[in-house]
Structure 1
Amino acid sequence: MNPLARENSMYRFVLSSIFFVWISTVNAAPDPVLSQTLQQKQQELAALTKKVDAAAAVLADEQANLARHAEGLEEATQSLVEAEREMKAKLLAAETNPDETAMRESVLASIRYNRFEARVKRYTGRKEESEQSVAAAEQAYQNLTKQQKDLEFVISELSSKRDELARKKVAASTNVQVAQSVSAPAKAAEVATPVAAKAEAANTQVVKTEAPKAKEPTEQAAGVGTWPYLSNASEQDIRYARTYIAELEADKAKGEIDSAPLVEVELVAKNSFGKSDMDYLGDDLYMLTKKVRAGSQRFALFNKDYWHTIPEADDQAEYVFIFDVSSLSKPELFLFKKSLIAQ
C-alpha cells in the first residue's frame, strides 16, 4: 500500500472513532420530552411550595388570634364573676341601708358589671369568628399540602423513569464504545500491513496475536461508571460495583487513600432514616449503608434533591448509597440494594 492510501485509511479510521464517540454522547443524552415535562413539574412544585408556606403562615396567624381571643374571654369571664359578686353585695347593702353612699356604690357596681358583661360578649364573638377562620385556614393548608404530595409523587415517578432510561442509554453506548475499541486494533493492524506481505506467515501471526490483547480491557471498560440501580443490575454492574468498592476499602485499610474533597457529607432521607454522615471511600466517592423504607422519597445532599422510588419488596432492606463528587458542579448519587454485591 502506498503512503497516500495508508494515510487515507488511517484518516477514515480516526473519523469512525470520532463518530462512535459522538453517537455514544447522543445516546446518553436525556429524553427531551421527558426532561421538559419533569422541568415543568418541578417549576409547578416550586410555585406550589410557596403557596403552602404562605398558607402555613396564615394558619399560624389565625391560630395566634384564636389563642389571644380565648385568653381575653377567660379573663373577661373571671372579671364578670367578680363584678357580679360585688354588685349583689352593693345592692343588698343599699336595700338594707338606703343612704346616698350605698345607692351610689350600688349603681357603680351595676355599671361595672354591665361593662364586663359586654366585654364577655365581645370576646365570645371574636373567638367564634377566629374558630371559623382557623377551620378555613386549616382546610386550605391541607388541600395545598395534598396537591404538593401528589405533585412530588409525579416528579418522583418521572425522575425514576428518567434515571432508568439514562442508565440504559449509558450502558448501551458504553457497549458500543467497547465493541469499537476491541475491533479498532485489528483494523489498524490490517491497514498498516502491506498487501504484498499478507501471504507471509510471520506477518499473519502478528495480526492474530494482537487481537486477543485488545480484548483484555474489554470487561473493565464495559463496567466503567456503571453502578447498579435499586434492585436492578446486570452481572456486569454487580461485578463492577463489588470490585470497585472492595479495592477502595482495601486501599483505605492500608492507609492508601487520597484526601477527601469535602470535609463533611450528610445524607438526608426523611422518610427512611433521617440524617446520616457518609464515609469517604476514596477516589472522590462517599459511601453509606442504611435500611430504607419503600415508596417515593427525597434524598437530599447539600442543596440538591434526588427523588427515587424504593420498591415495596425492598422495605427495610439495606441499601448502599454512593455519592460521586468527581464533578463538584454536577455530583451524582447512586443507590442500590446491598445484597446485590454480597459475596
Structure 2
Amino acid sequence: MPSPRYIRFLLISLFTTFALLSHASAAQSLDDIQIARKKVEDALSQHDERLAYLVDRLERTQAEINEAQRDVTEQETALEEAIAKAELEPGDVSARSATLASIRYNRSAAKLERLQERQDSATDEIASIKAHQIELRQQRTQLISQAQKLKAAEAARAANPAPAAISAPIAAPAATIDIAPPAAPKAPASWPSTEDESPDSVAFAKQTLSRLAAQPQGEAPLNNVRLNHNRGRGTENFNYLGNNLYRVDMKLEGGMWGFKIYNQTFWMSVPKAMADQDFVLIYDVSGKAKLHVFRASLLN
C-alpha cells in the first residue's frame, strides 16, 4: 500500500512590507521620535506575543503529528491484512472488513495531512514575523541614532549660546492695520482606521460607500483581487465598489496582521479592545495602492 500523499499549502512569502510607520528620517523633533519609537516597540511586543503562541502551537502540533503517524502505520497494516484476507477468503464479510479498514486508514491519513498543514502554516507565519521584526529593529536603531543627534545638537547650542544682538535705535512705531490671518485649511477627510475613528473620518466612509452604492460600478481596473494574510490559510476575495475601490469584510483577532495583495504586504495592528470584531477592508488603487482597515460597527 503506497503512503498517502500529503499536500502542503505554503503561505505566500512576504516580498515587500508596506510601511507600518513613517520612515525614521521623517521625525523632526524628539517628541516625533518618541512617538514613532513607541509604535515600533508596541509592534515588536505584539510580534513577541504571537511568536510565543506559535512556538507553543508548533510543539503541541508536533506531538499530535507523532501520534497520528503511529496511527496511520497501524491502520495501513490493518488494511493490508484485511485486503489479504479478502483475497484468500472472498465473501461479503471479508469485503466489508476490508472496506471498513480502508475508511479508517483514509481518516487517519487525512488527519495527519491536516496536522502537517497546520504545522506548515505556523512555520511560515513565524518566518514572516521574524522578517518583519528585523525591519522594525532597524527602524528602532535609526530612531535612537536620530534622537542622539538631536540631543547632541541641543547640548551644543546650550554650551555655545549666540552672542546678544546690538539693539538698534527704536524708531517710532508706524501705524498698523490689523488684518485677520487666513483660516488654516482643513485637512481633507480620509478613511477611518484603528487609530483614527474621528467623526469626520466616519462620515467620510459612510458618504463614500453610500455614493458608490448608488452609482454604476463601471469597469474594474483589476480583476480577481484576492487577499492573503499571516493568520491562516484561505483567500478572501475583494468586491469591486467602483471608483477604484474594493471591499472585503473580515473578523479580526487582536495583534499584528500582515495582509498581502498581489506583491504588497500591508502591516497593521488590531488593539486588544477591538479584537474579535468585524472589520471593513478597503483596497484603494486610485493612486499608490493603499489598504484602509476599520471597524464595521462605525458604519452603523
Computing the radius of gyration from Cα coordinates, the structure with the larger value is: 1
Indicate the structure with greater helix content: 1
Normalising by structure 2, report the TM-score: 0.41
Normalising by structure 1, report the TM-score: 0.36
